[in-house]
Amino acid sequence: MMGSSADDTRTSLLPEHLYELVFVSDPALSPDGRRGIYVRTDIVRRAGDAPPRYRHRLRLVEPDAGSDVALTQGEADRAPRWSPTGHAIAFLAPERAEATKPGAVAQLWVIALGGGEARRLTSFAAGVLHHRWSAAGDTVLVTTRGEWRDDVAADGTGRVVTERLHRGDGIGWVSSAPVELWRVEATDGARTHLWDFDRPPGTLEPTPDGEHVVYLAAERAEESDMGRTRLWSRPLRDGAARDLLGRSGSFTDPSVSPDGRHVALFDPQDPEDWGSPTSLTVVDLESGAYRTLTHDVAASPSVAGDSRIGAHPVAPRWEGARLVVALNRAGRSAIARVDLEGDVTEHMVPGAMHDRVVTAFDARAGRILALIETPTSTGQLHTIDADGSERRLTSWNDALLRAHAGGIPAPARTFDTADGQALTYWRLDPVRPRDDGAMVVQVHGGPYTNYGYGFVFEFHLLASAGYRVIYGNPRGGSSFGAEFARAIKGRYGTVDADDVLAIVDHAVGSVVDDRGATTPSVHLTGGSYGGFMTNWLVAHTDRFRSAVTQRSICNWLSFYGTSDIGPFFTELEQGWAPWDDAEALWDRSPLKYVANVSTPTLVIHAEADHRCPIEQAEQWFTALKRLGRAPTRLLRFPDEGHELSRSGRPDRRVQRLEAIIGWFEEHA
């Protein structure tokens, strides 16, 4: 079924090439901006009888000297943080003897850059959650959990649950022990317990004077249930926490100014709209007065990708009286500087170089260290200097992607729907197209994410198998403004479904017009919200040759009570709780219409997914089997959560990719 290309004899990119990928994460600049550190992750394919696993190590770069060298030789080293003097790095890693064992917890380590081995400073039973250097650089603030063990797992007795949110995706059973704040001496590891948090916090931000710590945490369980936190400042010695804004919200990424007067953070443009664009907000630490600096543009990027293992920090970075952020517009994200009056200056690059995504960055001393992807390149480190000059520092995976034929990006296309909405989509063309010209349409998750100029290994695999890959942004996604995002509130399966079909029709028409080809067959897949949309579409149209639904939603009524985000997500997105309007939720559930499905459908789900629980897949698969109108199969992955496709165990990721391609081949 494959065509031929006389001028490209490269071998195909295959699922097993995932094992050869290198992943870059957590870039951090030294205080003087002259050196950088990052986490390099590779895959250990087999070690005796152990399954494949990820290995994380720190590397040190000196952009001006052109050097890039290994700093650590551990198995799970992560979260590097420069000391204020730039002479040492604090990071998290398990004890060396425990590093590859299941359940190993991370401890705090410090390595001096002048030479010598890394030193472990802590031995907390629950490990270290977060860490930050003090302004003086002589101590490190860390959080850990109090003593807690899962007695039920140990002896099989009944579990008493008092919190609604008692299981979390990627976490499992949530510890009931309090989160504790400790001060650890950087020289000898001597530690002092400071206090316990009332509710679990996120990252810590010490003030420059060393007197306070700023953090995000809910005030009560009801706020946690709704995915909301508050912005707090608390003295490190005696004193109560102060609620700076006097309200809760979907806040993220606080960053304290160098003078200690302000904290910047991301805050949804509409505090009551979980999916509205993230605005950059600055808060006065003394008065709590705040100012929103950006409007109707996402101030933190959410462009989808599947080759990002590890942390990808995009918190606002202070540069004197300005802030550095990565703005997300129309599938791109670019570095921008924003002053305290809200004036924005974007770092512009010429021509097609603008078609890229900043997925992480740090900024110090006038220099930016950014992790940048393109549709044909995994995340690579770049420096951007104060004069606008830019250098690429790394080239991981370039040789692999040159050696094997992946996809060829076609120019983005924008068109207007019948009701006047502008939509943008992309096409990844195969080097050797299938004789039938078949396409695969991908629907992104979220729904408040977006497709664009990021790198997606899965798309290149499909293109290498001969498929044209179509991926776009129906209404409800991010990076196209608030009105575009809120268009599907309470309306899932309406204009968004129409938009996906409009993208399909336009893409099919463009291929026929461009190449004079016959009308190609079209396959469909998506995960999370994209899985919901896959279910919805195959229940409402026979447009697709086959479908793969992944980590999907099919029943809003059961999702409400089983997902870790069920109550707040259902109420915010659909508008009702089951007892408010069960009929309305059922009307928006693909399961109501499952008897219409005739499209061959593969169902892929992870058994430990607490975001979109496995019961959703079980309901959909059971209905398809019972009805018998559509060929179907269920692929279940043990011990994996919602992030299977992006960070699951490597061999399971490979099996998933093989299954997707195999299903489309089986139903060509």
Distance between CA atoms of 477 and 500, rounded to whole angstroms? Answer: 12
Specify the amino acid at residue 388: G
Distance between CA atoms of 187 and 566, rounded to whole angstroms? Answer: 46
Between 650-666 and 457-464, two packed helices, what is the crossing angle to 10 degrees? 40
Residue indicated by tokens 């472990």: 120
Query: CA angle at residue 389 from 386 to 390, to 5 degrees?
Result: 110
Distance between CA atoms of 63 and 32, rounded to whole angstroms? Answer: 12
Catalytic annotation, residues = 528, 642
Phi and psi at 51, nearest 5°, equal -70, 165
Q: Within a 10 A sphere around the Cβ of 363, how many other Cβ atoms?
A: 22
Strand, helix or coil for residue 646: helix
Q: What is the DSSP string of 528-580?
A: THHHHHHHHHHTT----S-EEEES----HHHHHHHSTTHHHHHHHHHS--HHH
Nearest to 458 by CA among 603, 306, 644: 306
Nearest to 300 by CA among 273, 335, 271: 335
Strand, helix or coil for residue 167: strand
Specify the amino acid at residue 265: L
Specify the amino acid at residue 359: T
Using alpha carbons, list the distances in angstroms from residue 450 to 329, 442, 444, 592, 667: 10, 11, 7, 28, 28
Query: CA angle at residue 122 from 116 to 126, to 5 degrees?
Result: 140
Contacts of 625-631 spanning 24+ positions with Cβ under 8 A:
627/594, 627/595, 627/597, 629/595, 629/597, 629/598, 630/538, 630/597, 630/598, 630/599, 630/600, 630/601, 631/600, 631/601, 631/667
Q: Strands of 65-224 (E only): list them.
A: 67-70, 78-82, 88-93, 107-112, 119-120, 128-133, 139-145, 167-168, 172-173, 179-185, 191-196, 204-206, 212-217
Distance between CA atoms of 31 and 138, rounded to whole angstroms? Answer: 16
Specify the amino acid at residue 12: S
Buried b (16+ CB within 10 A) or exposed e, 87-117: ebbbbbbbbeeebeeeebbbbbbbbebeeee
**Beta bridge mates, 56:** 41, 76
Q: Which residues contact 44 (CB under 8 A, 6 or more apart)?
A: 52, 53, 54, 55
Tokens for 322, please give them.
Answer: 């300005």
265 DSSP assignment: E
Tokens for 4, please give them.
Answer: 């031929």
